[in-house]
Amino acid sequence: MYNKKQGVIYVAMNYRLGAFGWLAGPSFQADGTANAGLYDQRFALQWVQDNIHLFGGDKNKVTVIGESAGGGSIMHQITAYGGQQGVPFKQAIMQSPGFLPQASNNQLEAQYNDFLSIANVSDIAGLRALSTEALQAANTVAVWQSMWGTFNFGPAVDGYFVPAMPGKLLLDGDFSKDLKIMVGHNSDEGLLFTDPFVNTSALFTERMHEAFPAATNATISYITDVLYPSEAFPDQISRYALASSEFSFTCNTRYFDLAFKNKTYSYYFSIPPGLHGEDIPYTYFNGPSSSVVNATAAIALQDFIVTFTEGGAPKSPDVPNAPAFGMYGANSTVEDIGASSITRIKDTVANSRCDWWQRALYV
């Protein structure tokens, strides 16, 4: 959050990860709480609301910021309870908001049963009787057994905190609306999460079945033949990378732009190679330009973040000739942070593929 006399007051939080934070599914939820990590976050955010004045802050000007899973967490907070309980913040900055869609009870039940098997117990009571070390060991095995590019555990549809997929909730108007939103995504978000051994169309199809186990054969065929047809790509790696990028990261930003009636601020980080997470050193830049960080681009991004936090509208007073950072608008324009310039371009995820993913037809 921002305080005029003291500048930005930065508060970081912790929350449970892996099986500790994300176990879900019908059997687990009969005696356990799904999405414990999201409840941890909500508790911390409420703590800020209740106590930030003791640090010179203003609870009515809290801005949350998160990258990757952090951005995906903010997405889940804004859509929590279908928007019926509000949120303990006023503005949100989501950088590459990401998570692997998990909406199927069968998928979550299988995940829970696999964890029980790894831990060598039969139910949640058995898990509770184990030591922390034993649970950590089981969690490590479960994560290592996950599909390439995934971590097995993450936010899941539980029918309560997460009543449906966040994108679908945004589409249906079931979210907290009294917010100002800034979102950003990179030019090649999916490559780091792409299985390098997928070198045939058949393997690509197999990975889509693994990612969306509840999807019908017809739905998988639509993904492989219509959304990402093999002939449209030079190789299977680039095909997989785009699919992974869109269903896990980039389309999430588009959902927010549309849900907030195009009155959002959106940027595109295109400095090569534009991989997922490469904007983090720019966000936290604190030194001279290097082969890793372009100082001008870093200062611009930091300007955008700080001025949005200050007044709800990003600007770049420290970068000469930077264009005005306009709203997303009906023409779907974003601020392109490139290696040699900052320009306004049409959003790369303003496409029909993202429209399809948002409807969550893979459940």
Domain residue spans of the chain: 2-358
Mean pLDDT within 120-126: 98
Residue 111: CB atoms within 10 A of its CB come to 23
In this predicted structure, the answer to whether residue 207 has a pLDDT above a threshold of 90 is yes
In this predicted structure, the answer to whether residue 1 has a pLDDT above a threshold of 60 is no
pLDDT in tens, 241-283: 999 999 999 999 999 999 999 999 999 999 999 999 999 999 9
Q: What is the largest CA-CA distance in the chain?
A: 63
pLDDT in tens, 146-165: 999 999 999 999 999 999 99
In this predicted structure, the answer to whether residue 5 has a pLDDT above a threshold of 60 is no
C-alpha–C-alpha distance, residues 219 and 225, integer Å: 10
Closest listed residue to residue 247, CA positions, set 331, 190, 294: 190
Residue-level pLDDT at 144: 95
Which amino acid type is present at position 282?
Y
Residue-level pLDDT at 205: 98
Closest listed residue to residue 162, CA positions, set 219, 41, 81, 280: 81
Closest listed residue to residue 162, CA positions, set 94, 246, 75: 75
Residue-level pLDDT at 160: 97
Of the pLDDT bands very low, low, confident and very high (cuts 50, 70, 90), residue 4 is very low
- Dump the DSSP string for 144-206: HTSPTT--S------SSSS-S-HHHHHHHT-S--S-EEEEEEETB-SGGGS-TT--SHHHHHH
Helix spans in the chain (H): 18-22, 26-29, 36-51, 69-78, 105-119, 124-129, 132-144, 166-172, 201-211, 217-222, 236-245, 251-259, 280-283, 295-311, 352-358
Mean pLDDT within 282-304: 89
Provide the annotated active-site residues: 68, 189
pTM (two decimals): 0.96
CATH number given to 2-358: 3.40.50.1820
Mean pLDDT within 334-349: 96
Closest listed residue to residue 169, CA positions, set 38, 85, 81, 263: 81
